[in-house]
Amino acid sequence: MLKFSYCNATDLNQALVQCRFAGSFGPLSSRRRSPRAVVSCSRSNLTPIQAVLSFQQQIGSDPVESELGSLADRLRLGGLTEDGLSYKEKFIIRCYEVGINKTATIETIANLLQEVGGNHAQSVGFSRDGFATSPTMRKLHLIWVTARMHIEVYKYPAWSDVIEIETWCQNEGRIGTRRDWILKDVATGEVIGRATSKWVMMNEDTRRLQKVSDDVKEEYLVFCPREPRLAFPEENNKSLKKISKLEDPVQYSRLGLMPRRADLDMNQHVNNVTYIGWVLESMPEEIIDTHELQTITLDYRRECQRDDVVDSLTGPELAEDSEIHGTNGSATAITREDDLDCHQFLHLLRLSSDGQEINRGRTEWRKKPT
């Protein structure tokens, strides 16, 4: 049985850190809620602990209630790290999260990344409505939307395996922020995956991108690492690679995909994890049967609505440093000898009606372990 000493913490500050500042956001939905309450602290002179305490005081939070937290907060196997600048949570892989390979699917991994990101946002006092919005963002009707997602899985966990995911966020340009993750096998401590993403700010009413204001930055940067921390610090790593557009004619396709009601999120548009499933729908069966997904990168270019019909297109990616040979105008990539078991593909999701680009993707596949 896993035991967590932080559940018995007596020091309020320690309990707030280790128990995810449990309940610090509860008063937002109570009668004492103040719609104008913001964290008016400077990143330079307050620690993350002090920032949350300041936030609680402004909205009238009861420290005793905060320490106890909700039932979900107390049962969740996670919390902020000691410095308050990242969040870790443990997950048990359930039987319904396992696919044909008898391991967690890539959709399961992506959903867990989304879950731990949302829990991190809640733990520092941001909204419980799933949008991870700060008080200023809610006042101005601003939301975060995914612009890019990059996931690398080195070893897929199996049913009943326990994994730990650490996440943190930091500033990324004028209109965005980035969130990174590291996945570990709890039993061995081995890093089994990494991921990074870019999110941009959008006006919920006009659906237009908007610059991240200084007021919004002040609210969330206090909870970010002081120095840049990257899940992929390597120079020229794959998360930085530009995705070329897949052009017609394509080798593989799956046409006429339609969103189900279960695919819609709280913004009333298709959840970003659904796009992963659509991308994989047009993968050739011979690859699915013999290989497993190693890397996936998605660029989100357009929102998909409930009534949209989507085409999924896939084609092999020509290696940048490969020799190109062809007959009758057709090109064939010659794979390097050490990559014979690795295959790369480009993907495109577009509207069936007018061909507008929804999502551009790239995947790498390795031979399934024996």
Domain that holds residue 251: 241-318+340-369
Size of the chain, expressed as the number of residues it contains: 370
**Residue where a domain terminates, one of 195, 216, 236:** 236
| Res 33: pLDDT | 36
Same domain, 224 and 172: yes
| pLDDT over 60 at 283, yes or no | yes
| Res 51: pLDDT | 57
270, 263 Cβ separation under 8 angstroms: yes
Same domain, 88 and 200: yes
Decide: helix, strand or coil at residue 15.
helix
For 40-80, what is each residue's pLDDT tens digit? 344 445 555 555 545 545 444 444 444 546 788 788 899 99
Residue in 269, 291, 343, 347 annotated catalytic = 269
If you average pLDDT over residues 349-369, what whole number do you get? 96
Residue 304 annotated as catalytic:
yes
Of the pLDDT bands very low, low, confident and very high (cuts 50, 70, 90), residue 170 is very high
Distance CA 114, CA 200 (A): 15
Residue in 13, 111, 171, 267 annotated catalytic = 267
Same domain, 230 and 248: no
Same domain, 358 and 285: yes
- Window from 64-68, 91-95, 226-230, 311-315 with minimum mean pLDDT: 64-68
Domain count for the chain: 2
Provide the token pair at 121: 């946002």
- Window from 9-13, 161-165, 217-221, 277-281 with minimum mean pLDDT: 9-13
> Of the ranges 201-210, 214-223, 360-369, which is most confident?
360-369
Residue 267 annotated as catalytic:
yes
| pLDDT over 50 at 323, yes or no | no
**Residue where a domain terminates, one of 236, 262, 277:** 236
**Residue where a domain terminates, one of 211, 236, 261:** 236
Residue 291 annotated as catalytic:
no
For 237-271, what is each residue's pLDDT tens digit? 999 999 999 988 999 999 999 999 999 987 778 99
Distance CA 20, CA 119 (A): 9
* pTM of the full structure: 0.79
What does the CA dihedral 157, 101, 195, 73 come to, rounded to 10 degrees? -50
| Res 14: pLDDT | 40
Same domain, 253 and 281: yes
Residue in 304, 343, 347, 359 annotated catalytic = 304
173 DSSP assignment: T
**Strand segments (E) across 154-190:** 162-172, 176-185
